Amino acid sequence: MSEQTENILKNWCELVTKQSAIDWEHLPSLGLYMDQVLTLTEEELAVASIDGVHPITSSMINNYVKDGVLPRPDKKKYSREHLAILYMVCMMKSQLPLPQIAQLMQELKEENSIEMIYGAFIKRQTEELQEVADLAAEADGDRQQLARLAMEMALEANARHLAAVQILKSIEQADAAEKTAEKQAAKEEKKEAKSAKKAAKKAVSESEESA
């Protein structure tokens, strides 16, 4: 392996070890404008950049807002919650399409605050990144070993991606079935009420005739 190639991998492994996501308490409590958000996330998302290309742009952020993945900023300012959600979206978007990320976030927010979700997310993310960085560092520049490791990691990532997609689809299907059942129940209830009203009207009519 060339020295340049080896340095690329070594630098990434060192970056994983030295840099971790900002914890909730240290995220800016005051609202940030777009350019400030991009500056902050450039460093925080460095481990996710490929060939030095920042994984987030202002256009992407605007699209996330339009698509409902990210809440609308307050007077063009992005809060601590915006930053936390943005980080999670950027770290997951290579594995899940945005609609499913939005679905996932909505599901988690039903019983958890963004602070709780973000805290659990960065903890697990840090553990996962450190684990793969350690494995890559242990390969020690052996081309064949690195190639096999890359294949194994790709296969594992693919398996986890497929499982995540199916999990979210099953949740979506369960929600759809529940809504269908609720509509059917409401329809039956309306039908029963109509029948009861008709029967009551008939009973009154028969009573008047017998009188």
User: What contacts 129, CB < 8 A, 6 or more positions away?
Assistant: 16, 47
Q: Which amino acid, one-letter code, is at 89?
A: V
Q: What is the mean pLDDT of each run of 10 residues along the chain (211 residues)?
A: 67 86 91 93 86 86 91 93 94 90 91 95 93 85 85 93 92 83 77 73 68 58
Residues 108-129 as b or e (16 or more Cβ within 10 Å = b): beeeeebeebbbebbeebeeeb
What amino acid is encoded at 205 in this protein? S
- What's the predicted TM-score (pTM) here? 0.77
What are the extents of the domains in the chain? Answer: 3-141
